[in-house]
Structure 1
Amino acid sequence: MALSIVKKRWAAVALLLLGAGCSDFGDTNENPNAARVPVPFALLTEAITGVPATQAGYTLRGGIAGIQTVGAPEPMLYVQYWSESQYPEDSQYATTFALWDNYYAVSLQDLQTIIDLNTKDETREQMVKFASINNQLAVARILRAYLFWVVTDRWGDVPYFEALKQNTLPAYTSQQEIYTDLLKELRESVDQFDNGRMLDGDILFHGDASRWKKFANSLRMLMALRLSNVEPATARDEFISAYEHPAGHVASNDDNVFVGFLDDDKLRNPVNVLFDGRDDYGVSETLMNTLTNLNDPRIEVFADRNQDEEFVGLPYGLTRSLLIDWTNENDYSRPGIAIRETTTRGYIVTASQVQLAKAEAAVRNWIGDDAADLYYDAIRASWEQHEVFDQDIFEVYTGHADVEFSGTDEEKLSKIGTQRWLALYPNGTEAWFEWRRTGYPDLQPTPYALNESGEIPRRYAYPNVEATLNKINYEAASARISGGDKHHSRVWWDID
């Protein structure tokens, strides 16, 4: 369904919801013309975009590819995709805690509402007119799993089993239990689809159940790898199960999972929002040096040339005074226009990303495919995604000593990690999670760090309001974290 149609439906839903509370005085205080239950197709679209239909001018927040997921600026700084050009505090790790309201209150709540409407006796029969019950549940469960995956990897233990149930004091579930349930949800949801009608409002796959199944299996493969250091046997079994599932996984750029943004204030690329009349970010020297040293053609997409028609990276993590001195003498490259256009796609899972996961699985002897072939196919998929592929350049590139798939297994994993970092750009959130798991590439913290540890953050501290609004459960969760509720503490799967 086109987003323009969805926007009209949002407006209608907003009027219905507003009208529900504005009837004439009477015994029932009900408007007979108002919707008695939320409309699931509107909830689905709102969950994907993270834009409440009743909030005019509200830019993309949580959503499936909003500024708290794929387009989050702080993780882009943590993994040194970008450097700050004016106010460098986030590059110096000054922000230690983050709020999670927009995850729980908008997208996750919308998805939970779809699930509740399709499982509760009093509303289940009404949902049949919109789509198959099984298909509505399967889609909502997959998206909910993806968002909770982001949430738990940002903070660690979070409200999960007791969340989204109108419970103002939810207990925190351990990350290990969350992962177990997320993998179960993805396994079950793939097999839950039937041949019935798909739900409207699906701006990801437009009602194509086969693509939903590939998305779920790909998520399960990526989640499984996240467990490789803490539960290797479980990680291997889950990866193989998803990899071998007959429904398939994201294997080509035609399968890429993305939100297609519009040239519209509310529905535009969230990265574009960061440049509204501002000039706060440049491509970091770290990323720029890597691209130039490898003669990587993606540099033409990832960065713009400066006024001298050169690619120049912005030094990472300088103090404000040092930054002012440097920028007074130098012009640097901004993130590429192709990355920050209003309609640039928000990629969630790509073929390159999944191919690199398969290459890692092959190095670990989980699957029998040739790791080198998978690795080179991943690089090619990334180049083709960004429309820079050239066979001659590719052959030279893959023969570079820092790219060629050779050496020990650890050296191969290092090269996979560097190519993953490049292929994920500008998805700093996923790159940050994978850097924490693998340590690749070898990123060094700014020497001007403002946080307690002086190191690149390993997680976000819990929202500051939790210590007062949910004190008992917050303290219990914090006590389970080695080192406490700190920026430098590690989540369950992030071990040395």
Structure 2
Amino acid sequence: MKRIYLFLVVCLALSGCEFDEDININPNKPSQASGGQLLANAMLSLPGLSSSPQGEFMAQYLSETQFPGGSLYPEGATSFYGLYSDPLMNLEEVIKADDLDAKEGPVANQKAVAKVLKAYYFWNITDRWGDVPFSQALTGLNNFSPAYDTQESIYNSLFVLLDSANQGFVAGDIANDIIYGGKVDKWKKLGNTIRLLMALRLSEVNATKGKEEFNKALAAGVMTSNEDNFTFKHLGVVANENYWYSQVGRQKRLWWALSETLVNTMKPTSDPRLAVYADPNEKGEYVGLKFGKLEGGAPAEYAMLGSDIWKQDAPVYLVTYAQVLFAKAEAAKRGWITGSDVEAKTNYEEAIKQSLKQWTGSDAGAGAFLQQPTIAYNPATALEQIGTQRYIHLFMHGYEAWAEWRRTGFPANLIMPSDKAIPTRLMYPAQEAANNTANYKAALQRLGGTDGLYGKVWWDKN
């Protein structure tokens, strides 16, 4: 230390020393993130859209054994702040940047991927809360109190955003892509698939607009195989492990059994996916726990969340090819695309095959499964069959399954624990009443004046 001090004194006295201006800069911690780094960081938040006990409870996939009150519904506010401040701000930086490094892939593709991800995050947000800040959001210091856009206007803006992304893709892969390994053709299909699924959400509120957007998405090119699935692949390391492993595998929390509703829907048809979704009880049987049962239950008695689901590197399925096929089956039945029941049946059966392949690794048992009386396509009950099988397929993506239940009413056997109705939206963050008072109150007026769990989002007309 004394020698360093002496060196500085001598240098200053002689005024002849030159200093390296970069000596205190850590090359492993850049002061400004690149486009690829911002995209990758935004992608790291994706599992949170699916891996949430609350989301699984909203869809009644899981029942609590230890603290059954937790598998009821939220009594108060839930926050969307983290989604705005982290992934969405990162994506907005990429979209608005004028100095992205082309060494990380064509700038046009970096921006197009950011638009796809921005649309996906906002779709999830608005489907949970309804009207939310959108057009005035993500401006940082420029606006701490953004207006709440109506959900209808947000949907229309997201359709435009996804179309812009589709038109913006060019040849050339991107760097730092932890989802698709840089393959922009996959991102392009994903953007159009999100648009397709969003369009179907309009079936009960604006079928004309829904049909139009649905067919535009189809024409632009959607997913064509399970290889296109939008999947977050966890790693077998603590820093990037599956949320459920941190709870079940690491902390040994045997808190989550499959719900009685889900097991009783799958078990009578010998559904091959049940053995993946759950581990049997100590007797080797699949027994579901009644959702919201106040006294809970002993884990040994019930089919608990499957080890294939909670293992450390288990993937999270966010948007899948089977969803595309279920959507096309429903669209055919509704007359949005040609083919009527013939096309609906073909897509419905293929959706189930691809779902089995996704979850079990094989569709070898699909033939016998599709011949089950309640599974075999029936024109008279087709929409219910499609809705129920889509619900089973969406296992562990509870918020998406909850949205589809609110839109279609299927499956029709979800229950009301303790006579408490299933919520139809989430309540706004409690801080909004003080932080964004005028805009918060304006949004509440459109809900009827009260921020509760039973207001309806725009497309929910069921």
Cα deviation 1:14-69 (Å, max 9, x = unaligned): xxxxxxxxxxxxxx9x97778463222221111001xxxxxxxxxxxxx1222xx1
Cα deviation 1:415-463 (Å, max 9, x = unaligned): 00000001111111111111111110013333425xxxx2101110000
1:174 equivalent to 2:111? Answer no
1:186 equivalent to 2:162? Answer yes
The aligned amino acid for 1:184 is V
Query: How far apart are the structure 1 equivalents of 2:384 and 2:169?
Result: 38
Picking from 471, 480, 485, the partner of 2:451 is 485
The aligned amino acid for 2:321 is A
Cα deviation 1:333-381 (Å, max 9, x = unaligned): 1111111111111111111111000100110111124110100000000
1:280 CA drift (Å): 1.5
Q: Percentage identity across aligned positions? A: 36
Q: Which residue of 2 aligns with 1:44?
A: 39
Query: How far apart are the structure 2 equivalents of 1:292 and 1:33?
Result: 57
1:188 CA drift (Å): 1.2
1:108 CA drift (Å): 0.6
Query: Residues 101 and 140 (structure 1 numbering): CA distance in 2 closer, same or farther, change over 3 Å?
Result: same
Confirm or deny: 8 A CA contact 1:79 1:431 kept in the other structure. Answer: yes
1:318 equivalent to 2:280? Answer no
Q: Which residue of 1 aligns with 2:52?
A: 72
Query: How far apart are the structure 2 equivalents of 1:312 and 1:386?
Result: 20
Confirm or deny: 8 A CA contact 2:57 2:72 kept in the other structure. Answer: no
Q: Which residue of 2 aligns with 1:461?
A: 427
Q: Which residue of 2 aligns with 1:16?
A: none
1:395 CA drift (Å): 2.7
Q: Which runs of 5+ in 1 are unaligned?
A: 1-27, 50-62, 119-123
SS of the counterpart of 1:98?
Answer: coil
1:113 equivalent to 2:88? Answer no
Confirm or deny: 8 A CA contact 1:117 1:127 kept in the other structure. Answer: no
Relative to the length of structure 2, the TM-score reads 0.89
1:402 CA drift (Å): 1.5
1:429 equivalent to 2:412? Answer no
Structure 1 segments, 4+ long, off by >4 Å, are 30-36
Picking from 291, 294, 311, the partner of 2:266 is 291
Q: Which residue of 1 aligns with 2:128?
A: 154
The aligned amino acid for 1:401 is P
1:483 CA drift (Å): 6.1
1:74 CA drift (Å): 1.1
Q: How does 1:126-141 map to 2 (within 5 A)?
A: 127-141=101-115
1:88 CA drift (Å): 1.8
SS of the counterpart of 1:249?
Answer: coil
Confirm or deny: 8 A CA contact 1:312 1:332 kept in the other structure. Answer: yes
Q: How does 1:33-432 map to 2 (within 5 A)?
A: 35=30, 37-49=32-44, 63-66=45-48, 69-118=49-98, 124=99, 127-166=101-140, 167-195=143-171, 197-245=172-220, 248-275=221-248, 276-277=250-251, 278-319=253-294, 322-323=295-296, 326-327=297-298, 331-369=301-339, 370-387=343-360, 389=362, 391=364, 393-408=365-380, 411-432=381-402
Give the count of matched residue pairs.
Answer: 433
The aligned amino acid for 1:106 is D
Query: How far apart are the structure 2 equivalents of 1:117 and 1:187?
Result: 20
> Which protein has the bigger helix share?
2
Cα deviation 1:257-294 (Å, max 9, x = unaligned): 10111012221122323324112211111111111111
Query: How far apart are the structure 1 equivalents of 2:259 and 2:76?
Result: 21
Confirm or deny: 8 A CA contact 2:272 2:360 kept in the other structure. Answer: no
The aligned amino acid for 1:80 is Q
Query: Residues 327 and 364 (structure 1 numbering): CA distance in 2 closer, same or farther, change over 3 Å?
Result: same
SS of the counterpart of 1:348?
Answer: strand
Q: Which runs of 5+ in 2 are unaligned?
A: 1-20
Relative to the length of structure 1, the TM-score reads 0.83
Moved more, 275-284 or 434-443: 275-284
Cα deviation 1:243-265 (Å, max 9, x = unaligned): 122xx211211111101110122
1:131 CA drift (Å): 3.0
Query: How far apart are the structure 2 equivalents of 1:389 and 1:433?
Result: 28
1:233 CA drift (Å): 0.5
Query: How far apart are the structure 2 equivalents of 1:295 and 1:33?
Result: 58
Query: How far apart are the structure 2 equivalents of 1:413 and 1:444?
Result: 17
Confirm or deny: 8 A CA contact 1:136 1:198 kept in the other structure. Answer: no
Moved more, 413-422 or 278-287: 278-287
Query: How far apart are the structure 2 equivalents of 1:40 and 1:241?
Result: 29
The aligned amino acid for 2:263 is M
1:70 CA drift (Å): 1.5
The aligned amino acid for 1:249 is V
Query: How far apart are the structure 2 equivalents of 1:266 and 1:150?
Result: 25
Query: How far apart are the structure 2 equivalents of 1:165 and 1:217?
Result: 27
1:388 CA drift (Å): 5.6
Cα deviation 1:366-405 (Å, max 9, x = unaligned): 11241101000000001111226454x4333212221111
Confirm or deny: 8 A CA contact 1:298 1:388 kept in the other structure. Answer: no
